[in-house]
Amino acid sequence: MSDALLEVRDLSKSFGALVVADAVSLSLRPGARHALIGPNGAGKTTLVNLITGTVEPSAGVILLDGHDITHWPQARRVKRGLARTFQINTLFRGLSVLENVCMAVSERRSLSARLWRRADARGDVIAEAMALLESVKLDEDAQRQVRELPYGRQRLVELAIALGLHPKVLLLDEPAAGVPSTESHVLLEAVEALSESIAVLMIEHDMDIVFRFAQRITVLVSGAILTEGTPAEVGADPRVREVYLGENAELRGGSR
Amino acid sequence: MEQPAYQNPLRTGAIRPAELLPWLAAGSGFFLFPDYLQLGAQILIMVLFAMSLDMILGYAGIVSLGHAALFGTGAYTAGILSAHVGWSEPLSGLVIAGLVAGVVGFVCGAVILYTRGLTLLMLTLAVTILLQELANEQEHWTGGDDGLQGVVMEPLFGVFEFDLYGQTAYLYALAVLFVMFLAARAIVNSSFGQSLRGIRENERRMHAIGCPVYRQMLRAYTIAAVMAGVAGALLAQTTEFVALDVLSFERSGDVMIMLILGGTGRLYGAFIGAPLYMILQDQLAKLSPEYWLFGIGALLVATILYAPEGMLGLTERLRAWATREDS
Amino acid sequence: MINSLVSIAFDGLAFAMVLFIISVGLSVTMGLMGFVNLAHGMFAMLGGYIAVSFIREFGVPFLLGAPLGCVAVALISVVLERTLYRRLYGGDELQQVLLTIGLVFMGIAVCTFLWGPLNVQLDVPSYLKGQVDLGFRRFPTYRTFIILVSFAVIIGLWYGFERTLLGAKVRAAVDNQRMAETVGINIRRLFTLTFALGSALAALGGALGTEILGLTPTYALEYLVYFLIVVAVGGLGSLRGAFAASLILGVVDTAGKYYLPAFGAFFIFAVTIILLLWRPQGFYAR
């Protein structure tokens, strides 16, 4: 056995004749900073859905911290320390930013079954949520409704909610999508400031971010792994360049 | 604000002065309209019923066209207890009816809450109609089409007779409503209540933060079932009669319309919607049933298009608009 | 014994065909737009009333009355779609439910005002009265006529759905709306068109079916549940599903009322609950 926090072995998923994940294997150790790249439709988000349990795999095994979670319900995986963000903001738009984060914090503390005590009297939950908001520089917007925030700021709420779950493994699905490049540094700094004990898997299209963030990169094409390696290895791989040529020329400038 | 912004930043909170208004109105109603106390008691009962629907619809976002199933279960339980078992003590009858409705709600909820959308809508509807058919068929117990006769109530606390004017009925309904309201208010403002709002706002996200969504919805459904059952039992006890229509699709529709007119997700929506609906009905139906039907239809369409958050939402918007004009 | 079974099968089939013609439009429009239109039963009812009025008041021949009702209802439905429904696309289903229930109430009130609260009979011409001999048995002519017309409609629908460009567009849009939009299908216009067609079919079913379902102002609510069951059990946007569900519903309801009249609609709802729990997305889920 390895000491991996998250281990995915030969994970496959097909819808009829359409194979969206083809024997994918991945391993994240504590402190891993791993990027998952690939052209559109390569099955990156599907992989996240498989790992988090919104989609049932056709074959393969998922291990979280040594437990076989392949057939666990989603909520149980989260309680074990698996958190994600969504590619498209998936937030409580009618609630305030603070309430969004409090929701995650009180769920993690298993308070959501408590029927009688007023939620707003739980100062500890609120203080923790505020601290999280400060860490992503959202504290000034704490009282605003999420739907009033610009999309880029909402991305930070996505991240803060996931952090409120105290994950051991964090799956970030294109965290910077829709964030103006002037603001993406806040997001990246927050990710870089994460504890060394957390393993992070990030799907990202922006190669600047990928090369700045990742220690290892996995390239996914048509549901299967094309290659895995360090940023230098992947950047130099001619097959990767081929896949990206025309599709996304950024990779060639990735080391700029 | 002088205090730090996050001292008490969640919007759930302490009691606001405006919250006293409906209770003052209900209390003064007792003295102002002594001839209408029977209608008044029925309004209070429908307020409770609509409030219980708000728990699942306004907070958890479960759209049910079959909430009458639970109301009717409570009504028939209380009625049958008295008419067939001879158990005519009102308070214990109320408790038993609430519990039976809670069990029925739990079982139904456990089965149907796996589904969503149209399927859930149809299942809630089908369960109600099924129960109504069953009640219609079990004439021995329910009196079938003629309604359940022979319900009698002992005096409340052994002292207060249920009188012809409905004085006892009115105060009894008001007191039960108040107790239920306090419970409901605490529940929706708790962490559990927050979690329900989360499910309504974005179910996918709730799954993703590890919330056992199904279990939370089932809890809410069961709590709402107890409240609806108590409301039904109140109707049976105060009118000393149970008709088949306590289980009807129409009653499910009525209570939903009341709640929508008042405003969902606020608890107090029920306090506006139920009286508005029932008083309008009382007045318009006197003229002609068609006027009433056309009127309520038009009011509903207008509400959905122009005040989707009901009368309470409308007043909030107007107030926000007025204060902006001032500054 | 055999005789009653044949009668039940025949009457069940006639009822099922009426159910199908009325419900199929609802299924397609709900599959297409996800719009919960509880006013669909009202369109069927209006079809019946308008057809009756054309035949009675203006002396229009029977075979022309029903199509005129279809056209009128299609127009009414398009006006409602353009002015009211459109505002709630993509909104939550609760608002759609309530808006259309409001419309149903208003419709019932208007129909009561115009045609009275009592049952209105459709005057069947003499050539459709009586019985027809199908060799092994005699059957009521009018119900035979209903079944034949329904078969013709079903063949037409199948052809339109499977073999025409419009049908292909509808199928594509039901299947994957975003994809359909990216290949240049105008969903809004497509929806208006199918909505009008679906309402016209409902009107046709409403006009043909008055002999079976009766025609009173509360029709719009009374049978709404049946139409919704067909859609939910069959699966949104599925012709085959709606057909299968109509058959089950029509036959079970007819048999239940024949053998155990005391239980009324009990069996229908019991069967519905079982079917929905077994297949929450309907027989033919997307």
pLDDT band of residue C12 (cuts 50, 70, 90) is: very high
Residue A230 belongs to a domain: yes
Q: How confident is the model at residue B320 (pLDDT cuts 50, 70, 90)?
A: confident
Question: Which of A51, A56, A86, A120 should we substitute to test contact with B (largest number of B Cβ atoms within 10 Å)?
Answer: A120
pLDDT band per the 50, 70, 90 thresholds, residue A247: low
Residue A180 lies in domain: 1-81+167-256
Look at strands A199-203 and A216-221 and give their pairing. Answer: unpaired
Whether residues A223 and A104 fall in one domain: no
Domain C2-122+141-278 sits in CATH at 1.10.3470
Which residues in chain A belong to E strands, given as ranges?
6-15, 18-28, 33-37, 59-64, 67-68, 82-84, 169-173, 199-203, 216-221, 224-229
Number of B:C CB contacts under 8 A?
120
Q: Name which of B107, B119, B214, B287 to mutate to probe chain C: the one with the most chain C Cβ atoms within 10 A of its Cβ.
A: B119
- Please tell me the least confidently modeled range out of B1-15, B115-129, C227-241: B1-15
Q: Using the beta-carbon criterion (under 8 Å), do B111 and C277 form an inter-chain contact?
A: yes
Which of B191, B202, B219 faces A111 most closely, judged by CB atoms?
B191
Segment C69-87 mean pLDDT? 95
Q: The domain that contains A64 carries what CATH number?
A: 3.40.50.300
Give the range among B315-324, C138-147, C150-159 with minimum mean pLDDT: B315-324
pLDDT at A252: 44
Considering only CB atoms, which chain C residues are within 8 Å of B136?
264
Question: What's the pLDDT at A2?
Answer: 60
- Whether residue C118 has pLDDT greater than 50: yes
C116 touches chain B (CB under 8 A): no
pLDDT in tens, B212-246: 999 999 999 999 999 999 999 999 999 999 999 99
**Residues sharing a CB contact under 8 Å with residue B150, sequence separation 6 or more, in sequence order:** B82, B83
Q: pLDDT tens-digit profile of A230-244?
A: 999 998 888 888 887
Question: Who wins on pLDDT, C109 or A249?
Answer: C109
Q: Which whole-number Å values give the CA distances from C90 to B140, B257, C36, in the listed order?
A: 48, 21, 11
pLDDT at residue A27, rounded to an integer = 94
Question: Which residue type, as a one-letter code, is found at position C255?
Answer: A
CA-based nearest residue to C53, from C133, C120, C7: C120
Where among A126, A142, A165 does a domain terminate? A165
Residue numbers of B between 62 and 91 with CB closer than 8 Å to C? 63, 65
Q: What is the mean pLDDT of residues B170-199?
A: 95
| Range in A117-121, B20-24, B218-222, B265-269 the model is least confident about | A117-121
Q: Are residues A133 and A183 in the same domain?
A: no
A33 belongs to a structural domain: yes
Averaged pLDDT, C119-131: 87
pLDDT for residue B104: 97
Residues in chain B closer than 8 A to A45 (CB atoms): none
Q: What is the mean pLDDT of residues B299-321?
A: 89
Domain assignment of residue A86, yes or no: no
Confidence of residue C286 (pLDDT cuts 50, 70, 90): low
Whether residue A251 sits in one domain with residue A206: yes
User: How confident is the model over B153-181, as a mean pLDDT?
Assistant: 90
Compute the CA torsion angle A25, A30, A35, A41 (nearest 10 deg). 40
- Same domain, yes or no: A11 and A34: yes
Q: Does B257 touch chain C (CB under 8 A)?
A: yes
Same domain, A72 and A171: yes
Give the confidence band of C32 by pLDDT, cuts at 50, 70, 90. Answer: confident
Same domain assignment for residues A66 and A130: no
What integer pLDDT is reported at residue A35 of this predicted model? 95
C21 phi and psi angles, rounded to 5 deg: -60, -40
Instruction: Look at residue A5 and tell me if it is in a domain.
Output: yes
pLDDT digits (tens, 9 = 90+) for B102-112: 999 999 999 99
Least confident of A62-76, A175-189, B75-89, C44-58: A175-189
Q: Quick check: C4 and C137 in contact, CB under 8 A?
A: no
Query: What pLDDT score does A86 carry?
Result: 94
A46/A67 same-domain check: yes
> How many domains would you assign to chain A?
2
Q: Among the three residues A116, A136, A165, which one is the final residue of a domain in this structure?
A: A165
Distance, in Å, from the CA atom of A151 to the CA atom of B53, rounded to the nearest integer, reads: 34
* Tens digit of each residue's pLDDT (9 = 90 or more) over A44-63: 999 999 999 999 999 999 99
Nearest residue to A160 (alpha-carbon basis) of A111, A98, A88, A202: A98
Whether residue A87 is contained in a domain is answered as no
Task: Give B292-303 pLDDT, tens digit per residue.
Answer: 999 999 999 999
